[in-house]
Amino acid sequence: MTQKIIASEKDIGSRIDKFLQASLVDFSRTDIQKLILKDKVLCDGVPVSKNLRIDKVMEFEVLELPEKLASTLEPEKMDLDIIYEDDDIVIINKPRNLVVHPGSGASKGTLAAGLLYHFKDQLSSINGTLRPGIVHRLDKDTPGLMVVAKNDHAHRHLAEQLESHTLHRTYSALIWGHPRDLEGVIDAPLGRDARNRVRQAVTSEGKEARTHYKAKEFFTIATLMELQLETGRTHQIRVHMRHMGQPVFGDPTYEGRDHCLGRVPPLFRDIAAKALEMAPAQLLQAVKITLVHPTTGKSMTFKVPLESSFQKVLKYLRKECPCDVPTFDSEIGFRDFEQDMMLADEAPEIYEEDFYPYEEPEFKNRLSRAERYQIAKDRKARKKEIELEKQRKKAEKAAIKRGELPEYVEIVAPGHEPTIDPAILK
């Protein structure tokens, strides 16, 4: 069924998918974007671009409405850790090892099925029948707080908060080593890893992604971090930590287990190995969420303590390898991963009054990212020269064996050639 939608002057500047969603309230923005990609949205008879922004009064023609897939989700009885509930929202503390909604390789035993059993038809339908009430998600092995919408009005309100960055999600994570900067922002776009479709990676072709971080507690081999998402990309914290050179402790996908164990100083390797045995997967948890209530307009904050396995590892590290002063060493640390370091045109200015919680300043001079990049580049060039020299000597020996070159060759260094004609000396 064709539907015509007119954009007025008040809509100028709006992106096409967001504008259409305001009229097609029963469908998600993902549904509308799929229609645009299928050339089912026209303007003056021409298919519109997915990046179109309205710049005048325009009339759009939607050739067909998005198709909602029939639900194959069956309610499943499960215990839910409900932190808060009212007529609009539910705050859930998701346990580890629970998939949020059906997807590739996971059709049963999901949080969505548990929500459907518990709340029945009292959940929003904007994200489709396979994701009732789901506003955002957590990875299977990442426990913590999630907000669930009980109606479409609440869902749209929460989705707007996510887009405007007024819904704040705070995480705790244990990472390998000590970060170079104790507080900062990682601004690196994320997209699908071209070499491994299961993973995400930092790539210039990806979507913008920003993670705010702050070091909270130090151990000889690791650091407890507080992180806050400004955007919500798949595996964002895990990829950003790996990109920074300090993977999340215990992360099996992003080199957070045995790959880092070999980099630990021998004196602490057994301690690190035992801590890894205690960590079921990545030690990352959503511990706090702050949002504006969709109906009352009041700001609400919810917190949960760290899960038992996370606390167990921290207790063990506090006993076996506490650390008062962080150290950072680019030579022996955890930074030499194969990664595309995107350097800024200019190094950021560093002010003396920058936050630093320790009075003892006796640390190594910290090189800038550009300096570290140049050192690594020079090291690779030197390594290549050595390899070429080895190959040359090997080829020369082989040639001597074949009798193609004399066994002893007098080599004259450049700049020291004879200056007298040898014929005169005869």
Cα gap 408→191, rounded to integer Å: 57
- Our CA angle for 381, 375, 244, nearest 5°, is 115
Eight-class DSSP state of 248: B
Using an 8 Å Cβ cutoff, are 177 and 334 in contact? yes
Is the C-alpha dihedral spanning 204, 18, 230, 303 positive or negative? negative
Cα gap 279→313, rounded to integer Å: 7
Per-residue pLDDT 10s for the chain (426 aa) are 677 888 888 888 888 888 887 777 667 777 788 888 888 888 888 888 888 888 888 888 888 876 655 557 788 899 999 999 999 999 999 999 999 888 766 678 899 999 999 998 899 988 878 888 999 989 999 999 999 999 999 999 999 999 888 999 999 999 999 998 899 999 999 998 888 878 899 998 889 999 999 999 999 999 999 999 998 898 999 999 999 999 999 999 999 998 898 889 899 999 999 999 999 999 999 999 999 999 999 999 999 999 999 999 999 999 999 988 787 665 545 554 444 334 333 334 434 344 434 444 444 566 777 777 888 888 888 888 888 888 888 888 887 777 775 544 444 445 445 555 556 655
The one catalytic residue in 17, 88, 139, 251 is 139
Instruction: Name 244's Cβ contacts closer than 8 Å, sequence gap at least 6.
Output: 179, 186
139 is catalytic: yes
117 SS3 class: helix
Q: Is the pTM of this model over 0.75?
A: no
Ordered structural domains, the chain, with CATH: 3-62 (3.10.290.10), 71-164 (3.30.2350.10), 167-366 (3.30.2350.10), 368-411 (no CATH)
Beta strands in 237-352 (DSSP E): 284-292, 299-303
